[in-house]
Amino acid sequence: MNYFIYILTFPLIWLFSKLPFGVLYFISDILYAVVYYIIGYRKKVVFANLKTVFPSKSEKEIKKIAKKFYKHFVDVFIEMIKSFTISEEEISKRYKYPNIAFLNNLYKDGKSGIMMGAHYANWEWILGLSLFVEYKGYAAFTKIGNPYFNEQVKKSRSRFGTTLVLTQHIIKNIEENKRQQIQAMYGLLSDQSPSLKKTYYWNTFLGVKVPIHTGAEMLAKKYDMDLVFMNTKKIKRGYYETTFSLINQKEAKKYADYELTDIFLKKVETQIYNQPEFYFWTHKRFKHRNKAPK
């Protein structure tokens, strides 16, 4: 059944991804109206999240943010599909790194690093970063249920030199690279909610006490790696830029437990408060808020 679904739908997805951006964004405008006004995809979750994070905003202000978010949300979905066939030249034109020299200078220090980011703006196209840096690039990902689609997504996301690694295998990958003295940069999105059984730390994020992912900090301390924050901005439709900054100003192991995680979350909060429409509000980020320890 998985193979039947794959051979029936993937050729259509591939052909769709070959359409020019102008046509794709015209389709995106139509899909926005369907998703927001007709289907109402996760509108309850989105509005509940926005009201939680922005309690002082009026209903009109919340609705304005929500509409902008859904327009961006559909654009990102279209851009993810475009990733199957986007050229190196096109992605280099549409996704810029103004301070790429920062990463290349960091590489000269001889350490590997972990790039921490959020589900903000377009995090998929960051996979083109490997075209511009000396680091061997790796990105943690979660397996898709359909194995045939899973292989196509892996191939698509690896087209520009980044290697995808299952999240549960990332430690093994780091240790293997360390043995072979391969200097690498590992991409981790650390803003979403961990399962309670894997929760070691709770703190306030966007005004709500929630469980926090701490894996990036743990790995940086254990394997003596730098923590780099990726600050992504949407410049205009279909165009993004990411700048980089160092989260740790000294060796990671010299920081108190969870201090580096808190620095990262503050940076993510700044992103969101500045332009909330570009955050991924469909995730149930606050689903465990009532289970926080007293």
DSSP 195: P
* Burial 3-33, CB ≥16 within 10 A → b, else e: eeebeeeeeeeeebbebebeebbeebeebbe
User: How confident is the model at residue 115, as a pLDDT?
Assistant: 97
pLDDT band at 86 (very low <50, low <70, confident <90, very high): very high
Residues 102-110 have a mean pLDDT of 94
What pLDDT is stored for residue 4 in this prediction?
Answer: 86
The per-residue pLDDT for 259 is 97
Position 48 scores a pLDDT of 97
Q: Where residue 118 falls among pLDDT bands split at 50, 70, 90?
A: very high
| Of 198 and 27, the one with more pLDDT | 27
Sign of CA dihedral 168, 174, 177, 182: positive
Kindly tell me the sign of the dihedral angle through the C-alpha atoms of 212, 215, 102, 75: negative
Cα distance between residue 58 and residue 51, in whole Å: 9
What is the value of pTM for the model shown? 0.93
Q: What is the pLDDT of residue 160?
A: 92
Pick the closest to residue 283 from 52, 85, 94, 109 (CA basis): 52
**Per residue in 187-211, pLDDT tens?**
999 888 888 887 889 999 999 999 9
Residue 223's Cα: distance from chain center in Å?
Answer: 23
User: Which tens digit of pLDDT belongs to each residue from 139-184?
Assistant: 998 888 888 889 988 888 888 999 999 999 999 999 999 999 999 9
Instruction: Taking residues 78-93, report their average pLDDT.
Output: 95
What pLDDT shows up at residue 142?
87
Residue 137 and residue 215: Cα distance in Å, rounded?
A: 18
pLDDT in tens, 244-291: 999 999 999 999 999 999 999 999 999 999 999 999 999 998 998 878
The answer to whether residue 293 scores a pLDDT higher than 80 is no
CA angle (17 as vertex; 4, 185 as ends), nearest 5: 95
Closest CA to 261 of 197, 224, 198, 218: 218
What's the CA dihedral at 131, 213, 257, 166 to 10 degrees?
A: -50
The token pair that represents 79 in the structure block:
């851009």
Per the listing, tokens 């690694």 go with 165
pLDDT per residue over 39-75, tens digit each?
A: 999 999 999 999 999 999 999 999 999 999 999 999 9
Dihedral sign for Cα atoms in the order 204, 208, 212, 216: negative
Q: What angle do CA 96, 152, 129 make, to 5 degrees?
A: 20
pLDDT attached to residue 85: 95
| Rounded Cα–Cα distance for residues 269 and 232 (Å) | 13
Q: Is the pLDDT of residue 292 over 80?
A: no
| DSSP H stretches of helix in 34-87 | 43-53, 59-82
Mean pLDDT of 208-230: 96
Position 266: which residue type?
Answer: K
Domain ranges for the chain:
2-282
d(CA 28, CA 22): 10
- pLDDT at site 290: 78
Strands 226-236 and 239-246: antiparallel
pLDDT of residue 132: 95
Q: Which of 53, 21, 188, 179 is nearest to 113 (CA)?
A: 188
Bridge partners of 187, per DSSP, are: 115, 139
User: What is the pLDDT at residue 231?
Assistant: 97
Check residue 127 and report its DSSP letter: G
Q: Which of 140, 149, 147 is nearest to 115 (CA)?
A: 140
Task: Check whether 294 has a pLDDT greater than 80.
Answer: no
pLDDT at 2: 85
Q: What is the pLDDT of residue 64?
A: 98
Polymer length of the chain? 294
